[in-house]
Amino acid sequence: MILRSVIMVVVVVGILSSASQALRFELQSGHTKCISEDIKSNSMTVGKYHVVNPNEAYPLPDSLKFAVRVTSPQGNSLHTAEKVQTGQFAFTAAEDGDYMACFWAEDHSPQIIMTVDFDWRSGVQAKDWSNVAKKGQVDVMELELKKLYDTVTSIHEEMFYLREREEEMQALNQATTSKMFWLSFLSLFLCLSVAGIQFWHLKTFFEKKKLI
Amino acid sequence: MESKWGKIWGLIGLLLLNFVNNVSSLSLTITKVECVYEIVRSEGDIVSGNFVVVDHHIFWSSDHPGLDFSITSPGGDILHNLKGTSGDKFSFKAPRSGLYQFCFHNPLSTPETIAFYIHIGHIPNEHNLAKNEHLDPINVKIAELREALEAVTTEQKYLKSRDAVHRSTNESTKTRVIGYTVGEYMLLTIASVLQVIYIRRLFSKSVGYNRI
């Protein structure tokens, strides 16, 4: 009896809260909006998008349709869809770089502004935890801790990446400093040599003219 | 008996998993005003995030006033307002649940790109559960641990964006140093050659001896 009521409560609340949290933005008809994300190579990426219904009471009007295109940093199109109201895509990033998802809404005679709900997850967040849970009757707490472990690993990797970038920046700054040092010597040398050439040239010129 | 409680904890755990809210770090190009919306499910959730203007070279001339950033609560009051920034972190406790609006305003007409990241963290507490469930304190601790790790991840994304900005500044500094120095050398040489030519002309026979 207790179990049944608990299940009821959990299922009801679960359904109410199961709409995945995502960011929303407004898309004006005739305009394009692009969102890009820096994704590391070999990380799994999952994206879902749908139009938000402005009126909960009525079904979604057909006029609210948009086109989507997801491109890799090289320019290859990873996912395209025309005149859709909802969709999803998933890919494994082949290289590091900026992956861009562009949405555009066609021109409509009264300008309509539609709200698009876009959920883009990559790396740790994209992993399908429900499969892991199903596989071995895994205890929920163990699942949570597995997730935390994955998060910690990704933090660790990110720290390595930041450290590497720091080193590169330091090398760049060193190179700039040494270049400035040598260039200032070169400019002094150039200045003196130009003055010397001027002097020598004018001296021979005046000697030839028999003025000196 | 054991399996029944196991199932209940499993269901409650799955319910708690629904409350993991997260959004990836994204880049957006702003022409005039761009707003991003996020749903905060329960009051008391901590909303934290950061944004950085990626085209940092616009600030070098010190003419650019910077971007304006504002956070509006579902009630309509402005929680956070920043004028003329090139990037910032923010964190606040949501006073109520609903749709929060994060708006960026670009005062000039040239489009600017920003990289932003928003995270909404929820820690389950006694108030949210129905009467016949009770909260296992370890789940609260796990949620707190997860939130702490998410805070580290948020900070890392901020550092990564700032590092990218600094790198572009440094690379441009190096190019400009070399460019200006070489330009300076050429100007010096041209000026001295012109000087010599002018002096030669002053002394040339066609102009006339007695002028000097």
Q: Is residue A1 part of a domain?
A: no
d(CA B163, CA A166) in angstroms, rounded, equals: 8
Q: Is residue A82 part of a domain?
A: yes
What's the pLDDT at A7?
43
- Are residues A48 and A22 in contact, defined by beta-carbon separation less than 8 angstroms? yes
Structure tokens at B83: 């004028």
d(CA B91, CA B80) in angstroms, rounded, equals: 10
Write out pLDDT tens, residues B119-168: 999 888 777 666 666 777 888 888 999 999 999 999 999 999 999 999 99
Of the pLDDT bands very low, low, confident and very high (cuts 50, 70, 90), residue B15 is: very low
> Do the strands B46-53 and B87-93 form a parallel or antiparallel pair, or are they unpaired?
antiparallel
Contact B192 A198 (CB under 8 A): yes
Write out pLDDT tens, residues A127-139: 777 776 666 656 7
> Do the strands B112-121 and B46-53 form a parallel or antiparallel pair, or are they unpaired?
antiparallel
Q: Which of B15, B26, B142 sits opposite A14 (nearest CB)?
A: B15
d(CA A92, CA A43) in angstroms, rounded, equals: 6
Number of neighbouring beta carbons within 10 Å of residue A38 = 20
d(CA B37, CA B99) in angstroms, rounded, equals: 6
> Do the strands A32-39 and B112-121 form a parallel or antiparallel pair, or are they unpaired?
unpaired
Helix crossing, A140-208 with B137-202: angle to 10°? 10
Within chain A, what is the greatest distance between any pair of CA atoms? 123
ipTM: 0.75
Closest-CA distance of chain B to residue A74, Å:
17
Note which residues in 6-25 of chain A have CB less than 8 A from chain B. Answer: 6-7, 9-11, 13-14, 17-18, 21-25
Q: A44: domain range?
A: 21-136
**Strand order across the beta sheet in which A77-84 lies:** A77-84, A66-71, A97-105, A32-39, B26-30, B112-121, B46-53, B87-93
In order of their start, the domains of chain B are 28-124+147-165 (2.60.120.380)
Write out pLDDT tens, residues A52-76: 888 887 887 787 888 899 998 888 8
CATH code, A46:
2.60.120.380
Structural domain total, chain A: 1
Contact B173 A161 (CB under 8 A): no
What's the pLDDT at A45?
87
Residue type, A143: L
